[in-house]
Amino acid sequence: MMQMKSNYLKSLVEGKSYSAHFGNLLFIEYYILGKKHGMGSAYRWHELKDKYPNEIKAIWTELDPKGYERFIKAERDFEKECIDTAKEVANIRKQERAQLKKEWTDAGGVW
């Protein structure tokens, strides 16, 4: 049975009926606390982390502020890595296209 740990989550659910929204928030809390593992949980986490960024911040900063800082840093590092990779791929494609154009025109083709 899942028990809510964060005061943030407790204040949200007080006096309200259960809904999938609250179930998602409870899952987020358990994931943050390291109580959910496995591929299914990872898929669900990646689905929910973009849907509930404010709630994640509120829960995580209450329960583990340093963990939240590490999470944000990892997210930023990953985003930067993706941008750098995309730029690198675009540059490679540009070079390949220039090489193809040169080879084509050297062979007598019209570009």
Range of the domain at 80: 66-111
Q: pLDDT tens digits, residue range 68-98?
A: 999 999 999 999 999 999 999 999 999 999 9
Q: Tokens 């220039």 correspond to what residue?
A: 98
- Overall domain count for the chain: 2
Q: Helices in the chain by DSSP H: which ranges?
A: 7-13, 20-32, 39-49, 53-63, 65-106
Say whether both 11 and 49 belong to one domain.
yes
Averaged pLDDT, 16-43: 89
Say whether both 3 and 47 belong to one domain.
yes
Say whether both 29 and 80 belong to one domain.
no
* More confidently predicted of 16 and 31: 31
pLDDT the model gives residue 1: 55
Say whether both 56 and 83 belong to one domain.
no
Rg from Cα positions in the chain = 23
pLDDT the model gives residue 76: 97
Averaged pLDDT, 24-50: 91
Averaged pLDDT, 19-35: 91
Say whether both 53 and 72 belong to one domain.
no
